[in-house]
């Protein structure tokens, strides 16, 4: 379904509903939906950014417990989870290749700190204050890993003063699911408070695994967070948070992408394992000078190990084996100078540094076809270091009380360095290489507050994602691949109607996307795979709308995204069909295994995404309420590779996920019957290495929440 065929129906939808907005609960314009991604608290309805913002309560109502489910509540987002990592794309831009050298283009921040890029992704959402899903390049504030967008996850802070407070929640469900979650706020003194939060989950496997090895035992997860807030003076605060996650997912069962059996009926003869253990410490300090300028420091330290073992052929007849155990350590430091909000001129200045070290211990990264001989094994050990340093700033000037111009820029220098040893089927290949990249990204926006209920904006923004290094495959040290660049043009209208009972966001965008990083057959000798950049730009354009409506006991939220994409002229050999015929990416020539991909759709760029939710509060005697709620999310089909070959399993079919809840509230207690994927759709959640990975089946249960 093409974008021009849907434009009329989309226009009718927005006229009939007067647009679409973020999934929040608000009765009047005074109840602001806030967004903090640009380093100060802003009203989303008057910020020149397309975003979905959800509170912790909104997440629970929509059945969102981790990053995978964000695609069913935000337009234009897709999450393809292949176990150890994810391909997270917004508006068709994010990550298209499954390796540590290809960084993500949709970065997730946790409590103000950029997290592991594309890995350790099963971290649960618990005791959350809000989640902000930002669409489009966020180069000025978020930096080099936000060409597609960014996600900001903020947990609840301690509260100084008052009494002890918190909540406890218990859950039971099918697959023998047991969940326990809770948090307690501890007001220690007049200037100091602490908060402790925990989350525990356990369930049996979704899969029926037959064959010589049956190794998926389900999920056992435990997470905890300790926070400390100190405010010794009105102009100074220090917030410290430390958390730890132990996520034993047993394995990521999968089978060949073209298998005819049910997704959850797996035949395997290889070992499976999936264990992520990682922690994070964040210290944020704010000091306000006498002139109202705030100095902010955000320091982050993260360390984790991801351990993964898989049956690489996904059957009981093959002998392909994959295992890795990788340590990742990240240090980051950000400084901000933030002007006061009053006055016609506001500004922000910032500096950022990040150190990211991946360590591959000897003997831990192994591909065996089969195991047991150096001539049938591929091994890798060593380190990959990535460093980033940046300075950035934004200035906003109100030419009139209702018309504002914004200008932002970020200069970044980034480097990557391999010091690894490759043992390729009996051949030793040392790999010591490095590459550096630099970029100036920016944003120019014009903002017009037409009146108290209508806001218009238009901007041009750029984004940058660094390149990386190709691991050698016996042809000498291969060339690195270059950085990606995106230039985005966007215009939007945000409005409120009927005394704030309806809030809307509408936007249209056009992206000029250069140097898409993709793996194809090595141009001179296509027997091997090789990552490079498309020689001509991709065009991606679309329309998005969001709506939130609250009329007394009735609440409705909805979202719509329509997208079209076209790859520029590009010749390539499919690396899954080995060839000895050279194929130049810019000139071809087309023929045989050398394919002209001009006009192909961008990977992970579905043409249609939409979601809606509706709930109604029914008053009961004694002040109790009964609230039924339904949520539905649709992500249309998408291509996993530029070759668009269904016979090789490149097409990822559409997803239609229906969630439902029935909640009974009695005072501070809420009892909820819940179901996710109510229709039990068996859908492919990702394709990687010729294997298909299933999304979760129908789950249902009951949870009891008690506030105190």
pLDDT per position as a tens digit, 372-388: 898 999 999 999 999 99
pLDDT in tens, 80-114: 888 777 889 999 999 888 777 788 899 999 999 99
Buried b (16+ CB within 10 A) or exposed e, 597-617: beebbbbbbbbbbbbbbebbb
> Which tokens hold the place of 327?
């340590």
Instruction: Average the pLDDT over each of 139-148, 558-567, 668-677 and give the range with the smallest value.
Output: 139-148
238 and 284 in contact (C-beta within 8 Å)?
Answer: yes
C-alpha separations of 68 from 56, 73, 695 in Å: 16, 10, 9
State what percent of residues in the chain have pLDDT above 90.
74
Q: What is the mean pLDDT of residues 462-472?
A: 91
Q: What is the mean pLDDT of residues 471-489?
A: 87
pLDDT at 2: 35
pLDDT in tens, 596-641: 999 999 999 999 999 999 999 999 999 999 999 999 999 999 999 9
pLDDT at 211: 79
595 and 643 in contact (C-beta within 8 Å)?
Answer: yes
Q: What is the mean pLDDT of residues 272-281?
A: 95
Q: What is the mean pLDDT of residues 475-502?
A: 91
453 pLDDT above the threshold of 90 = yes
C-alpha separations of 11 from 86, 273, 496, 543, 608 in Å: 33, 48, 18, 10, 14
pLDDT at 18: 28
Instruction: Give the torsion sign (CA, 12, 17, 19, 24).
Output: negative
Select from 199, 15, 23 the least CA-distant residue to 614.
23
21 pLDDT above the threshold of 70 = no
Angle at 306 between CA 319 and CA 605, to 5 degrees: 85
State what percent of residues in the chain have pLDDT above 70.
95
Radius of gyration of the chain (CA): 25
Backbone torsion region of residue 263, taken as left when φ is above 0, otherwise alpha when ψ lies between -120 and 50, otherwise beta:
alpha
pLDDT at 500: 86
Backbone torsion region of residue 8, taken as left when φ is above 0, otherwise alpha when ψ lies between -120 and 50, otherwise beta:
alpha
> Which tokens hold the place of 444?
């120019």
Residue ranges of domains in the chain, CATH in brackets: 3-707 (2.40.170.20)
pLDDT band at 4 (very low <50, low <70, confident <90, very high): very low
Strands 149-155 and 106-110: parallel
pLDDT in tens, 121-133: 889 999 999 999 9
269 pLDDT above the threshold of 60 = yes
370 pLDDT above the threshold of 90 = no
pLDDT in tens, 573-602: 998 887 888 999 999 999 889 999 999 999
pLDDT in tens, 233-259: 999 999 999 999 999 999 889 999 999
pLDDT in tens, 313-328: 888 888 888 999 999 9
pLDDT band at 31 (very low <50, low <70, confident <90, very high): low
C-alpha separations of 390 from 217, 333, 541 in Å: 44, 11, 29
pLDDT at 26: 34
92 and 652 in contact (C-beta within 8 Å)?
Answer: no
């Amino acid at each position: 379904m093409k974008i021009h065929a849907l434009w009329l129906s989309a226009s009718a939808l927005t006229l009939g509903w007067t647009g679409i907005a973020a999934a929040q609960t608000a009765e009047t314009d005074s109840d602001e939906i806030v967004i903090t991604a640009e380093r100060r608290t802003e009203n989303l309805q008057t910020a020149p950014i397309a975003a979905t913002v959800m509170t912790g309560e909104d997440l629970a109502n929509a059945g969102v417990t981790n990053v995978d489910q964000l695609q069913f509540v935000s337009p234009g987002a897709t999450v393809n989870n292949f176990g150890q990592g994810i391909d997270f794309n917004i508006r068709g831009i994010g990550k298209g290749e499954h390796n540590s050298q290809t960084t993500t283009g949709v970065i997730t921040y946790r409590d103000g700190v950029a997290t592991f890029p594309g890995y350790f992704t099963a971290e649960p959402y618990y005791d959350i204050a809000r989640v902000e899903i930002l669409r489009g390049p966020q180069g000025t504030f978020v930096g080099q890993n936000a060409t597609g967008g960014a996600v900001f996850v903020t947990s609840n802070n301690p509260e100084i003063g008052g009494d002890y407070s918190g909540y406890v929640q218990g859950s039971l469900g099918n697959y023998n699911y047991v969940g326990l979650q809770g948090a307690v706020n501890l007001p220690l003194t007049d200037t100091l408070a602490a908060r402790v939060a925990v989350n525990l989950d356990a369930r049996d496997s979704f899969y029926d695994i037959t064959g010589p090895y049956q190794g998926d035992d389900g999920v056992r997860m435990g997470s905890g967070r300790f926070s400390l807030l100190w405010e010794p003076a009105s102009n100074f605060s220090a917030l410290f948070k430390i958390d730890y996650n132990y996520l034993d997912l047993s394995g990521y069962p999968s089978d060949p992408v073209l298998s005819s059996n049910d997704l959850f009926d797996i035949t395997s003869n290889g070992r499976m394992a999936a264990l992520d253990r990682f922690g994070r410490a964040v210290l944020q300090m704010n000091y306000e000078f006498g002139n109202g300028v705030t100095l902010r420091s955000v320091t982050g330290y993260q360390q984790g190990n991801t351990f993964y073992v898989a049956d690489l052929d996904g059957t009981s007849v093959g002998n392909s084996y994959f295992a890795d155990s990788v340590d990742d350590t990240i240090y980051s430091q950000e400084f901000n100078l933030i002007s006061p909000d009053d006055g016609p001129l506001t500004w922000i200045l910032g500096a950022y540094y990040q150190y990211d070290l991946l360590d591959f211990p000897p003997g831990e990264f192994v591909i065996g076809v089969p195991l047991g001989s150096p001539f049938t094994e591929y091994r890798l050990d060593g380190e990959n270091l990535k460093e980033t340093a940046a300075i950035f700033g934004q200035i906003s000037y109100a030419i009139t009380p209702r018309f504002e111009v914004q200008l932002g820029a970020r200069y970044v220098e980034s480097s990557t360095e391999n010091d690894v040893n490759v043992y390729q089927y009996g051949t030793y290949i040392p790999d010591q290489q490095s590459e550096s990249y630099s970029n100036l990204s920016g944003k120019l926006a014009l903002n017009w507050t037409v009146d108290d209920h209508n806001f218009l904006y238009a901007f041009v923004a750029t984004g940058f994602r660094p390149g990386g290094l190709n691991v050698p495959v016996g042809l000498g040290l291969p060339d690195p691949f270059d950085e990606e660049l995106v230039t985005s043009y966007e215009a939007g209208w945000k409005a409120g109607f009927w005394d704030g009972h309806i809030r809307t966001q509408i936007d249209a965008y056009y992206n000029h996307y250069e140097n898409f990083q993709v793996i194809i057959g090595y141009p001179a000798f296509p027997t091997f795979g090789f990552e490079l950049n498309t020689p001509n730009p991709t065009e991606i354009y679309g329309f998005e709308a969001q709506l939130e409506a609250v009329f007394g006991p009735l609440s409705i939220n909805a979202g719509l995204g329509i997208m079209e994409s076209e790859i520029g002229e590009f010749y390539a050999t499919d690396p899954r069909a080995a060839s000895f015929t050279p194929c130049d990416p810019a000139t071809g020539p087309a023929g045989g295994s050398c394919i002209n991909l001009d006009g192909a759709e961008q990977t992970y760029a579905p043409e249609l995404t939409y979601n809606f939710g509706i709930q109604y509060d029914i008053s009961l005697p004694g002040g109790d309420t009964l609230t039924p709620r339904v949520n539905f999310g649709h992500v249309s089909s998408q291509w996993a590779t530029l070759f668009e070959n269904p016979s090789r399993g490149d097409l990822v079919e559409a997803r239609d996920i229906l969630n439902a809840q029935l909640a009974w509230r009695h005072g501070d207690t809420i009892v909820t019957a819940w179901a996710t994927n109510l229709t039990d759709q068996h859908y492919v959640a990702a394709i990687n290495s010729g294997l298909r990975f299933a999304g979760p089946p129908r789950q249902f249960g009951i949870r009891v929440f008690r506030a105190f």
